[in-house]
Structure 1
Amino acid sequence: MTASTTSPTRHPRFTRTLPRAAESAKAARGLICAALAAWAIDDLAEDAALVVSELVGNAVEHTACHLIKVTVTRTSPETVRVAVVDKSRTTPARRTPGDDEVGGRGLLVVDALTTRWGTDPLNFGKRVWGDLTRQPAG
């Protein structure tokens, strides 16, 4: 189910609860692209879709819960926050994998594409988020 609501800070947001499965990255990307299109800030869609794919992938790989929650919030006219909530309390850590390692670059990608990112501890788990900001028209 997808919901469009206003956050407690009165910012518009879209949320969707999804199974903790690799296939959920596609639905998460769809949610992000739909929200950005509704807000007429499609220029962030490609990077935001990649960020949410990495965050969903991390939740799938590193948590044992059955469901995850994906949220995109417009925090200002130029900035959106993409977030994934899961029931794990383990804080993700950015690492630098070796050249021969296949995985482990997700948070490096998130760090490169966002203006900032972080983790919020919750009573039942955590929220990992990244902010993406539009470049000024020039």
Structure 2
Amino acid sequence: MKSIKPGRGPSMMGGFGSVFSVIFGIFWTILAASMTRGTGLIGIIFPLFGVLFIIIGVFNAIYHFKNASGKNRYSAFDITDEDEEPDPLNERFGSASAPPDSRSAETHFCPYCGAPVQNDFAFCRKCGRELPKE
């Protein structure tokens, strides 16, 4: 069974965006605290927005960097076979897949490079060429 996992690139980009959010939150907190000093309730609320940015940014950065560097990551861009990488959702919640069709589980070989391919494959996993229809 194929599984789709989040790519490392989008997760790394999300991690750097989270770091930017933390830096923005630090600047916001410092500037808001210095500009609203002594103005009562507003002087407390505006700096709290910066603290909120910092907290959310730290949690997002941890999530995205762990996802970008982890072996069993969640993603939308990597399509893998079950024998290459296990699907983390199947490991967490159990496999809900139907029993494999005996016809689709048969292994054949690519006529171009000799790599093993299953009967239901349209393209070779190794060389990428389109397989002839049987």
State TM-score, norm by structure 1: 0.24
User: Which has more strand, going by share of residues?
Assistant: 1
User: Which has more helix, going by share of residues?
Assistant: 2
State TM-score, norm by structure 2: 0.25
Structure with larger Rg: 2
